[in-house]
C-alpha cells in the first residue's frame, strides 16, 4: 500500500495538480468548505499550515552536508541565486506591464517571481539528470535568503508597477518577513535539526514525504481555485497565460544564464530548473496572509504550482535528451 501511494503521488504530481485544478474549478465548494474552515480539525488545516508541513518535510530531507556543498562551490551557488532573484521578479513585473493586469492580480504574479525556489525543482533536476547537489544547495540558500529578499523585491516591483498602473496596494514588508520566518525558516530548521539527530528514523519517513507534500500542495491549489471560482471566469485565460509565460521565461533565461557562464551540462540543467520553478505555494500563502483583501492575489501562486509540475516534467525530458546527445557527440 505504501509503495502504491508513493508511486501515485510521488511520480504523478503533474497529473494530480492538473486534475485538482480542473475539479476545484468546476465543482464549486469542493475545497473551500473545509480547507481554512475554523470548525474543521480545530482550524489547523489552513493554507499556511499546509505549507509549513511541506517546509518541515523539506527540512527533513536536508543535512548540514548540503551546506558544506554550498561553501565548496560558492561560484555556482552565487550564479544560480543571482539568476533566481533577478530573472523571475523582473519577468513577473514585465509580464504584468505587458498584460496591464489589475493591481491585485499583479501583486500575486510579482510575489511568485520574488519567492525562492521550491522543493519540486530538486525532483525535476533528478529527472533531468542534472546536478542534484547544486539544486538542493540553491533551494536551501534561496530559502534562507527569502525573508530578506522576497519582501524587499515585492515592495520594490509593486511600487514600480503602481507608478505604471493605477490601483494602490499597501505592502508591509516587515509583516511579510515575519510570515516567511514562521512559514519557511522555522519549519525547515526544525526538520534539519531532527534529521541531524534522528537520521535513521527520518530515512524511513523521507520515502513517504513526497506523498504528504503532494497532498498538501493539491489541497492548497484546490482551495485557492475554489475560493476564487467566480473571478476565474473573468480573468482565467489571462492569469493562465501570464503564469505559463512567467514559468517558461524562467526556464529560458535560466538556461541562457548557464550557457553564458559556461557551466557544464548538469549544472546548467540544475540552474534552468531552479530558476523556472518557484516556491509558488509560499506565494499563495503569503498572498492569503499579507493581502487578505486581495482575493485574486492568491491565484497566480496556485496556478503556478499546478503548471510548473507539468512543464517541469516536460523540460526534464528535453534536458535529459540534450545531455545524452551532447555526451554522445563528445565520444
27: three-class secondary structure by DSSP: coil
Asked whether the predicted pLDDT for residue 44 surpasses 60, the reply is no
Return d(Cα 149, Cα 128) in angstroms, integer.
28
Would you kindly state where each structural domain of the chain is located, as residue ranges? 2-323
CATH T-level topology, domain 2-323: Na+/H+ antiporter like fold (1.20.1530)
Alpha carbon distances (Å) from 121 to 52, 136, 183: 18, 8, 19
Confidence of residue 43 (pLDDT cuts 50, 70, 90): very low
Q: Is the pLDDT of residue 70 over 90?
A: no
Asked if residue 116 has pLDDT above 50, the reply is: yes
Residues paired with 278 in a beta bridge: 117
CA–CA separation, 24 vs 261, rounded Å?
42
Q: How far apart are CA 328 and CA 85, in angstroms?
A: 34
Cell of 148: 530578506
Residues 304 and 117 sit within 8 Å (Cβ to Cβ): no
pLDDT for residue 36 is more than 70: no
Rounded-to-integer distance, Cα 288 and Cα 299, Å:
10
Distance CA 79, CA 76 (A): 5
Dist. CA 287–CA 280, nearest whole Å: 10
Would you say 24 and 225 are in contact if contact means Cβ atoms under 8 Å apart?
A: yes
Cα–Cα dist 50/309, whole Å: 18
Residue 117 β-bridge partners: 278
Distance CA 271, CA 254 (A): 6
Angle at 163 (CA atoms; ends 234, 245), nearest 5 degrees: 45
Kindly report the average pLDDT of the chain as a whole number.
Answer: 81
Reported as a single tens digit per residue, the pLDDT across 125-143 is: 877 888 888 888 888 889 8
Nearest to 144 by CA among 97, 81, 95: 81
Give the up-direction half-sphere exposure of residue 300: CA atoms within 13 A in the CB hemisphere.
Answer: 34
Range with the lowest mean pLDDT among 43-52, 96-105, 180-189? 43-52
Amino acid at each position: 500500500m505504501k509503495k502504491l501511494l508513493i508511486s501515485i503521488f510521488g511520480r504523478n504530481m503533474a497529473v494530480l495538480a492538473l486534475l485538482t485544478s480542473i475539479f476545484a474549478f468546476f465543482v464549486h465548494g469542493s475545497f473551500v468548505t473545509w480547507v481554512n474552515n475554523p470548525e474543521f480539525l480545530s482550524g489547523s488545516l489552513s493554507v499556511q499550515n499546509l505549507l509549513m508541513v511541506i517546509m518541515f518535510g523539506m527540512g527533513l530531507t536536508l543535512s548540514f552536508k548540503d551546506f558544506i556543498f554550498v561553501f565548496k562551490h560558492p561560484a555556482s551557488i552565487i550564479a544560480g541565486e543571482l539568476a533566481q532573484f533577478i530573472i523571475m521578479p523582473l519577468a513577473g513585473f514585465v509580464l504584468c506591464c505587458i498584460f496591464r493586469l489589475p493591481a491585485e492580480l499583479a501583486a500575486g504574479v510579482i510575489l511568485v517571481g520574488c519567492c525562492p525556489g521550491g522543493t519540486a525543482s530538486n525532483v525535476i533536476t533528478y529527472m533531468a539528470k542534472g546536478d542534484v547537489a547544486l539544486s538542493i544547495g540553491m533551494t536551501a540558500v534561496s530559502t534562507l535568503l527569502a525573508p530578506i529578499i522576497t519582501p524587499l523585491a515585492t515592495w520594490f516591483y509593486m511600487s514600480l508597477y503602481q507608478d505604471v498602473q493605477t490601483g494602490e496596494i499597501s505592502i508591509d514588508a516587515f509583516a511579510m518577513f515575519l510570515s516567511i520566518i514562521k512559514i519557511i525558516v522555522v519549519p525547515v530548521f526544525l526538520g534539519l535539526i531532527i534529521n541531524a539527530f534522528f537520521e535513521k528514523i527520518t530515512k524511513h519517513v523521507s520515502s513517504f514525504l513526497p506523498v504528504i507534500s503532494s497532498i498538501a500542495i493539491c489541497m492548497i491549489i484546490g482551495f485557492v481555485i475554489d475560493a476564487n471560482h467566480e473571478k476565474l471566469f473573468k480573468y482565467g485565460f489571462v492569469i493562465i497565460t501570464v503564469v505559463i509565460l512567467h514559468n517558461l521565461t524562467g526556464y529560458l533565461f535560466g538556461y541562457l544564464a548557464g550557457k553564458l557562464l559556461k557551466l557544464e551540462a548538469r549544472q546548467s540543467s540544475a540552474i534552468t530548473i531552479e530558476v523556472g520553478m518557484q516556491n509558488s505555494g509560499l506565494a499563495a500563502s503569503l498572498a492569503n496572509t499579507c493581502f487578505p483583501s486581495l482575493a485574486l492575489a492568491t491565484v497566480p501562486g496556485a496556478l503556478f504550482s499546478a503548471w510548473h509540475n507539468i512543464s517541469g516534467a516536460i523540460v526534464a525530458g528535453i534536458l535529459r535528451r540534450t545531455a545524452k546527445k551532447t555526451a554522445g557527440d563528445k565520444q
